[in-house]
Amino acid sequence: MPVRKSTVDIKSGRLFPFQFLVLGFIILLSGFAVVGPYMIIGIILIIAGAVILTAHEGTEIMPDSNSYREYNSILFIKTGKGKKYQRIEKIFINPVRVSKTIYTAHTSSSSTFQDVEYNAYLKFSDGEKIFLLSGKNKNRIRNRLKIIAETLNIPLQDNTGAK
């Protein structure tokens, strides 16, 4: 039987899209560049860049106290309200078909691309479900969830239809 940790931290993803991360990196570098001659402006830019680059969301599960919290983390400070649960029933993975339409800049034509993403959820005994994480690589998601399921000693259900 696996050893249970006191806290299981599942990072869902970043709070800002890729374009903002690039902007955050540029702001951070700009802050370092101007911190010598313009100390206050440099510090403000460094903090703003660090906020953008460190912001993410996730879920913490504390099996010892039968509680969990969905959190947002900025500058490694997690904020979120804890909730109690009776029992965790299972973790499950569902496939989701997503589509993205891209328009060209100079013409009125567009292209639509369809893909499959895999969303993982945690289900409690009272029927409540919370989102854990998602991704396009099913094996990576499954391997990550397998470790979490073993740690929490709960089943992992794959609803994708393929092994």
Residues in contact with 106: Cβ distance below 8 Å, sequence separation at least 6, in sequence order: none
Per-residue pLDDT band for 3 (boundaries 50, 70, 90) equals very low
pLDDT of res. 37: 93
Stated pTM of the model: 0.77
Residue pLDDT, tens place only, 106-120: 777 888 888 899 999
Residue pLDDT, tens place only, 43-91: 999 999 999 999 999 999 999 899 999 999 999 999 999 999 999 999 9
pLDDT of res. 130: 94
- Residue 141's Cβ-count burial label (10 Å; 0-12, 13-18, 19+) is buried
Q: Residue 4: is its pLDDT beyond 70?
A: no
